[in-house]
A and B are shown apart, each in its own frame.
Chain A
Amino acid sequence: DGGITQSPKYLFRKEGQNVTLSCEQNLNHDAMYWYRQDPGQGLRLIYYSQIVNDFQKGDIAEGYSVSREKKESFPLTVTSAQKNPTAFYLCASSILHPTSGSSGSYEQYFGPGTRLTVT
């Protein structure tokens, strides 16, 4: 059963604590992404990775950190420096190398999301 999983589904933390969100995929995708979604809003890119041991900041990376030690895993840490951490966090993955004749981005496969509440 191939897919992308995130855990936990709901997470509650006290202000000032770091928290790590898990994202695992068995689709053999090279690229992985983390997005943040606030109520009634679209997705904003936090970090993305195209290859193991390499990752790039997205539009809203401040207060977040990631690692990519394995192709299958891309955990996100929400640090105490993130001013408004309460949000819905979505992980996604996609293929990286284009097929012949194609260009641009590719379909992203999303996990079910983790809803983080910080009080």
Chain B
Amino acid sequence: SQQGEEDPQALSIQEGENATMNCSYKTSINNLQWYRQNSGRGLVHLILIRSNEREKHSGRLRVTLDTSKKSSSLLITASRAADTASYFCATDEASGSARQLTFGSGTQLTVLP
């Protein structure tokens, strides 16, 4: 079963604009991770936020986590054409195997030059 679900499924913006993607999940988690996938390639880890954290930054990325709403958001500021990719959230259930991640179906981001 899908633990995380991203919203929107697809997002198209102009270069320089900010992009926001959301992830909702169902059960209590240890942490939540965001990954990026360029078309036809493997996934690349972007950021990990633990259940006791509310916000985390990494370069142009800002991730928030609201455990009361079981949701997270990924904000990419000042987007570039090279940010065009699919973005996935992944969670591990607090009661399950800490080694397994459950991925959402992703948000396809297109940044137009």
A: residues with CB less than 8 A from B are 31, 35, 40-45, 48, 50, 56, 58-59, 88, 90, 92, 94, 96, 102-113, 115
- Contact, CB under 8 Å: B99 / A50: yes
Contact yes or no, A107 B104, CB < 8 A: no
A40 to B98, CA, bound (A): 26
Residues of A within 8 A of B50 (CB): 102-104
CB contacts (< 8 Å) of B45 on chain A: these are: 107-109
Given A104-B30, A105-B92, A105-B99, 19 extra CB contacts under 8 A: A40-B105, A40-B106, A42-B88, A42-B104, A43-B103, A45-B101, A56-B97, A90-B42, A90-B43, A92-B43, A96-B99, A102-B50, A103-B50, A104-B31, A105-B100, A108-B43, A108-B101, A109-B45, A110-B42
Min CB gap B93→A, angstroms: 9
Interface size on B, as a range, is 20 to 34
Interface residues of B in 75-104 (CB under 8 A from A): 88, 92, 94, 97-104
Any chain A CB within 8 A of the CB of B69?
no
Give complex CA distance A43, B104 in Å.
7
- 0/1 interface trace, chain B 49-71, chain A, CB 8 Å (1 if under): 01100000000000000000000
CB <8 Å contact, B31 and A105 = yes
A108 and B48 CA atoms in complex are apart in Å by 11
CA distance A43 to B94 in the complex (A): 20
With known contacts A42-B88, A113-B41, A105–B101 Cβ distance under 8 A: yes
Chain B residues, CB < 8 A from A108: 33, 43, 45, 101
- Given A42-B2, A43-B88, A105-B31, is A110 in contact with B43 using a C-beta cutoff of 8 Å? yes
- The residue on A at minimum CB distance from B106 is A42
Report the minimal beta-carbon distance from B59 to chain A, rounded to whole angstroms: 16
- The CA-CA distance from A23 to B98 in the complex, in Å, is 22
